[in-house]
Amino acid sequence: MSHKAARIGEILDVMKSAWDLPADCNEGELFAYAETLYDRIVGGDGKDALYAYLAGVQVDNLEMPPSDIFRSIVDRSLALANDWRE
């Protein structure tokens, strides 16, 4: 497994542990969101841009009620990214 796939897997685990996902959400769909979040983190997006992205995914794509849980996912993913750099 590549480093990128392993790191996306870590973000995916964060998402699955934080969100109460709808029954119709499949692993591939969630992986795509985790991959985009990873790419944006590596690309240097700031916290506000990452929050906005994941808030949109949460409400628009996954059709979950608005909440601040996306902030926790972004914050935990950024902490993972700091570990990757060490």
Q: Which residues lie below 8 Å from residue 70, measured CB to CB, with a gap of 6+?
A: 51, 54, 55, 57, 58
The vertex-77 CA angle with 76 and 79, nearest 5°, equals: 65
Q: What is the pTM of this model?
A: 0.91
By the 8 A CB rule, do 7 and 79 touch?
no
By the 8 A CB rule, do 77 and 11 touch?
yes
- Predicted confidence at residue 19, as pLDDT, reads 94
Express as a percent the part of the chain with pLDDT over 70.
Answer: 98
